[in-house]
Amino acid sequence: MTKTLAQLRNRVLQKLKVLSGSDTATAEDAALVDDAIPSVNEKLRDREFCFWTDDTVPESVFEDLAAYVGCHVAGDFMSESEAQAYRAANEQTSLLEIKRVCFSRPRTRQQTRQDYF
């Protein structure tokens, strides 16, 4: 099962205490997070941690990805000291959990046979 980009955005804003349960994000807040998500996913792809698209997120990484994206946008919603505290509490643990989930997935790549001449 997957979650949408809008659900991820709202969860990031909830983790940052910008939104409460049923609130709706302002256009500016939504744009800040929406712009950060593809960038964060690309960083994870570069490290070979990201197997999902920018538009859908598997539930297995949803909470940790929301926390990790939150680390990248915390400075836009919090004071610098609050953002540093949020990053210290969430960045490493969320990244390690994303990594664990990604590396526990079955590999789909097939072995290639090398021809020697």
Q: What tokens appear for 75 in the block?
A: 């400075």
Task: Give every CB contact of residue 93 below 8 A, 6+ residues apart in sequence.
Answer: 64, 67
Give the bridge partners for 46, in sequence order: none
Closest to 67 in 3D by CA, of 46, 86, 83? 86
Residue predicted with more confidence, 109 or 48: 48
Q: What is the pLDDT of residue 77?
A: 96
For 50, which DSSP code?
Answer: -
Q: What span, in angstroms and rounded, lies between the C-alpha atoms of 93 and 64? A: 8
Confidence check: pLDDT of 92 > 70: yes
- pTM of the predicted protein model: 0.85
Q: What span, in angstroms and rounded, lies between the C-alpha atoms of 104 and 79? A: 36
pLDDT tens digits for range 43-85: 999 998 888 988 899 999 999 999 999 999 999 999 999 999 9
By CB atoms closer than 10 A (0-12, 13-18, 19+), residue 53 is exposed
Confidence check: pLDDT of 103 > 90: no
